[in-house]
Amino acid sequence: MTEYRNYEAEDFLCDGFFIEWVLHPKPEHQVFWQTWLSENPDRCEHLEKAVMILKALQVRPNDKQLSDKDVADMSEHFLQSVKPKRAPGFKISTRWMAAAAVLLLVTGTILFNQYRQPSAILTTTQSSLIKVYNDNQTPKLLQLADGSIVVLKPRSEITYPLKFSDTNREVFLKGEAFFEVRKDSLKAFLVHTGSMITKVLGTSFTVCAYDGDNGFRVMVNTGKVQVFNNQKSADGSVKASVILTPNLQAVYQPKLSSFKTNAVSMPLILSPALAKKEFSFTNTPLPVIIEKLEQAYGVKISYDKEKYEEVTVTASLSKLPLDEKVRAICKAIDAVYEFKDGTISIK
């Protein structure tokens, strides 16, 4: 994967992966670019300039087909709209010429196809919703716009926005998922599952709702979670509500319209007391640490086992979210990592 560290706007406009992210965003695109932006804040201006130029090309389709002349006219209009003002004798750089050529080739094809297919609409990254269904036999790892981690279990589906609103963070779940939510006292994190809502400000927990409200269950690893039925009683009050703390779970009882709360049979590995014990390492081989992370989160972490077989790490990772755990490990062993295709890769 290209590092993009020294890219300017015209360089981004020549890159297929960047163009695909802006015009047809997918979860793996969002994870990569959010991570990259957080690690390269000084390059944001160049990236935003490239995004602005690409978005200027977005149009809604109609029933007409574009002729060759239509495409040529649109291309000429685009070149005129982005041509910088310059003094006499000033020449456009070859990189900008290359960027324009790539844009015309890629977006010209996209626009042509969009006009020919009235049902397709290009959406912006600001308002798009992402829907992910895990049809694999193993959990799928996702990272949301606020940095929160979701481990989506098999046969489960989650819908979430590319960018959260200014007032809250809402996702919609069918099935089962583990959440590790970044703290934000100004924006509550809400998980909608049927008529049930799980509300937190920053914690880790599991929601299971394969069969709607009849099979609804929440288990808390860290922090405090409020769970309630969004349906109102005749008097307008909430039907059922419960507050959960670490190592507690709540199961909804539809016939009684209430929650049954009890302790989990075994302490959850990511709950504070056990996590402190499990994720404090002193000269521990890297493969042992990786295995513990995979077991705790149910995700796959790929790395060169032969290269790092003898490498040891000393670190206390118990209070860190998953991505920061991995980042700390990579810093200790002088490596880098990336989220891709639902897994973590250390290189």
Is 169 a residue whose pLDDT tops 70?
yes
Q: How many CA atoms lie within 13 A of 43 on its CB side?
A: 20
Which amino acid appears at position 291 of this protein? E
With a cut of 70, say whether residue 323 has pLDDT above it. Answer: yes
**Is the predicted pLDDT of residue 115 greater than 70, yes or no?**
no
Within a 10 A sphere around the Cβ of 170, how many other Cβ atoms? 17
pLDDT of 28 = 65
pLDDT for position 284:
93
pLDDT tens, position by position, 80-92: 444 444 444 444 4
Q: Where in the chain is the domain with CATH 2.60.120.1440?
A: 129-263
pLDDT at residue 175 above 90?
yes
Q: CATH number for the 129-263 domain, one of 2.60.120.1440, 3.40.640.10, 3.30.70.420, 2.40.30.10?
A: 2.60.120.1440
What is the share, in percent, of the chain residues with pLDDT greater than 90? 34
Residue 225: per-residue pLDDT = 94
Whether 278 and 318 have beta carbons less than 8 Å apart is answered as: yes
State the helix-helix crossing angle for 322-333 and 286-297, rounded to 10 degrees.
Answer: 170
> Given pLDDT bands bounded at 50, 70 and 90, which one contains residue 221?
very high
Tell me, what amino acid is at 73? D
User: Is residue 45's pLDDT more than 90?
Assistant: no
CATH of domain 279-346: 3.55.50.30
Mean pLDDT of the chain: 77
Query: How much is the pLDDT for 75?
Result: 45
Report whether pLDDT(79) > 70. Answer: no
Segments of the chain assigned to CATH 3.55.50.30: 279-346
Share of the chain above pLDDT 70, in %: 74
More confident residue, 48 or 295: 295
Least confident of 8-17, 156-165, 288-297: 8-17
CA atoms within 13 A on the CB side of 32: 19
In angstroms, how far is CA 309 from the centroid of its own chain? 30
